[in-house]
Amino acid sequence: MIDLPTILTTLAPALISLALFINTRYFPPSMGNSFLAKSPEWWMRDQATWNSAYSFLAQKYGIGTIALFAICSCLFFLESPYAAYGGYVALIAYVILANYQVRSYMTDKIK
């Protein structure tokens, strides 16, 4: 029989990652009134670079979401009550890594 709560608990980090990707990709901050986020005023200094960095971040989140779905699917077969913790550790690690990569990109591009 399908145990839906176990499936949802194990795949929760991947679903959180998917929500983060959708938010980053489809609702970027804008200069005017935005649905979710308004970009800061200093964004206007080099808006093209900032927009490319934001799309780079969305791309990293997309790749991480696919990898996290694969990791969480594999963790599902461990049949351990603590299997979801591995997914949460991977989620935190990839979000930190993606933000570090974008920050490095911005350091190289903005002087």
Average pLDDT over the chain, rounded to an integer: 83
pLDDT at 102: 87
Q: How far is Cα 19 from Cα 111, in angstroms, rounded to an integer?
A: 32
pLDDT at 8: 87
Residue 93 contacts residue 13 (beta carbons within 8 Å): no
Indicate the pTM of the whole model.
0.82
Please provide residue 38's backbone torsions phi and psi, each rounded to the nearest 5 degrees: -110, 130
Q: How far is Cα 100 from Cα 84, in angstroms, rounded to an integer?
A: 24
Residue 38 forms beta bridges with which residues? 30
Q: Which pLDDT band holds residue 20 (cuts at 50, 70, 90)?
A: very high
> Domain coordinates of the chain in residue numbers?
4-28+43-109
Length of the chain: 111
Q: In the predicted model, is pLDDT for residue 80 greater than 80?
A: no
Q: Which pLDDT band holds residue 4 (cuts at 50, 70, 90)?
A: confident
